[in-house]
Amino acid sequence: MSQDNKQQIAQDLVTASIAAQDGIDISSLTFQDDRLICILEVSPALGAQMEPVRQDVEKVLITEFSDFTVNVILTAKRGEKSSERIASQPARIENLAPYVKHMIAVASGKGGVGKSTVAVNLAVALAQQGLKVGLMDADIYGPSVPKMMGLSGRPQMQDDKLVPHEAFGVKVMSIGFMVEDDTPMIWRGPMIQSALRQFMVDVDWGELDVMIVDMPPGTGDAQLTMAQKVPLAGAVIVSTPQDVALLDARKGVAMFRKTGVPVLGLIENMSMFTCPECGHESHIFGHGGAEREAKKSGTTFLGAIPLELDIRIQGDEGMPITQAQPHSKYASYYQDCASTIMGVLSDSSVKKASA
Ligand SMILES: Nc1ncnc2c1ncn2[C@@H]1O[C@H](COP(=O)(O)OP(=O)(O)OP(=O)(O)O)[C@@H](O)[C@H]1O
Ligand SMILES: [Mg+2]
């Protein structure tokens, strides 16, 4: 590993570890022979409170740089009152995608709740409304966007940029286009960051009104890093109505709020099942939980999407229901969510995340 590389990796790891904390900054990060010294600057009033953060950073660096003796040290920022320090803490770093008006993450606390299905259908629904739409598959552990959009193959290069694939009026980029289906992917924090950076910087997206970002499930370090690295205007949280999924949804809401990303609202997926034979409605995973949760956490309820066989089949066949049956009631659930989201975004209280 070159000196520059080491430095960048360490810098990225520390940045990700302190992302959710106000009042703490990297003061310096130095490799000296077999030692790695990281000095974190904290507001004077927060010194003791930051000890667990210091320990976390140390653990992360020890794991990555096991050949080095790692010291992480807290120092107080001189000549500054703690309240001023917190107020001046930048919420976001760099805007790597200034060509996008609104970048929206579709996330969930838990896997398998229908996030990717929502992401692809929202993207198609927004394109149907005449918007210029991109879809970035940030689920680099299990990318499912290529299959759901019926796309495959390596994107072409033109003028040093990757040309995104396009389907149903949506420009699409996924790590699934770059690696073979059966390649086991072992990602480390810095690799995730550079893949995402590449998606934003090295892809010729053109000007976009909206970019939908399909996030990997969960609220761990990787998600936090992404929430911080991608200049998000807001996040949409998908949940099933069960209590356990809602608890995870709550974690998702908390994670985005910590990183200063507005939560645009909650979607309840697999909300009910209507028997195709008799028309009877069953609430297999319960019903109405996400709406109650949205009220409780002060976010918008963006809508309920029923469990429907056609939605699943269309996803598997590579043509989202919004494209395959645009005038169906199934498509209307996503179309209505898309309109509500655009309404929330145009609300003056939700500002585009700035650089
Ligand atoms: N409303 C729905 N009705 C029927 N099937 C659905 C619905 N939403 C999602 N599915 C199906 O459920 C499965 C999981 O959905 P999806 O892949 O979108 O979830 P995910 O949250 O992105 O999962 P992961 O956490 O693995 O990324 C898929 O087979 C999808 O077709
Ligand atoms: Mg998914």
Instruction: For tokens 């390596």, name the residue.
Output: 154
| Domains of the chain as residue ranges with CATH | 3-88 (3.30.70.2210), 100-346 (3.40.50.300)
Cα-to-centroid distance, 310 and ligand 1 (Å): 12
Mutate which of 116, 148, 313 for ligand 1? The one with the most ligand atoms within 8 Å of its CB, which is: 116
Instruction: For tokens 């992302």, name the residue.
Output: 19
Ligand nearest to the CA of 333: 1
pLDDT tens digits, 203-250: 999 999 999 999 888 777 667 766 777 788 899 999 988 876 778 888
Nearest CA to ligand 1 atom 11: 312
DSSP annotation string for 158-216: ETTEEPPEEETTEEEEEGGGTS-TT------HHHHHHHHHHHHHSB---SEEEEEEEPP
Of 52, 55, 50, the C-alpha closest to 24 is 50
Q: What is the mean pLDDT of residues 13-20?
A: 84
**Would the pLDDT of 149 be above 90?**
yes
Q: What is the pLDDT of residue 49?
A: 78
Protein residues within 5 Å, CB atom, of ion ligand 2 = 115-116, 144
Residue pair 114/305 in contact by the 8 Å Cβ criterion: yes
Lowest mean pLDDT among 202-211, 270-279, 297-306, 326-335: 270-279
Mutate which of 141, 284, 312, 317 for ligand 1? The one with the most ligand atoms within 8 Å of its CB, which is: 312
DSSP structure class, residue 110: S
pLDDT tens digits, 279-324: 777 776 666 777 887 788 788 899 999 889 999 999 999 999 999 9
Cα-to-centroid distance, 139 and ligand 2 (Å): 7
The C-alpha atoms of residue 229 and residue 239 are separated, in whole angstroms, by 24
